[in-house]
Structure 1
Amino acid sequence: MRRKADLPEKVCAQCGRPFAWRKKWERVWEDVRYCSDRCRAEAKRGRPATDGEHG
């Protein structure tokens, strides 16, 4: 078992916050760019992330 601190991290392309690897992303980790569905949807709409709003 790995500790959470030992998991790889990336920075969200939409909001700029760091996020850690998840088991469901095991096969597609190289392609993951966003920390959440909300950030992914906002990026598709072309909306910039705003401070204080995060799902």
Structure 2
Amino acid sequence: MARKHVNLGTAPDKRDLPQKTCAVCAKPFTWRRKWARDWDQVKVCSDRCRAAGTGS
């Protein structure tokens, strides 16, 4: 069975993306395209962590 989503050299490999540690749950999370403009300000990995505690 063929893979539908194949990286043809246009996107970086997932393990090459930057990572951070969540300020609330302390788990690592990787860069997402929707965070491209404000990656420096991202402190939490999800809406659940944002609601659970302050990401400061």
What residue ranges of structure 1 are gaps of 5+ in the alignment? 45-55
In 2, distance between residues paired with 1:36 and 1:30? Answer: 15
In 1, distance between residues paired with 2:53 and 2:18? Answer: 23
> Is the helix fraction higher in 1 or 2?
1
What TM-score, normalized to structure 1? 0.77
| Aligned twin of 2:40 | 30
1:6 aligns to 2:32 (yes or no): no
Report which of the two structures shows the higher radius of gyration computed on alpha carbons: 2
Alpha-carbon distance, 1:39 to partner = 0.2
Which of the residues 17, 23, 26 maps onto 1:16? 26
Identity in percent? 55
Give the superposed CA RMSD: 0.7
TM superposition outliers: structure 1 runs of 4+ over 6 Å: none
Alignment length (residue pairs): 44
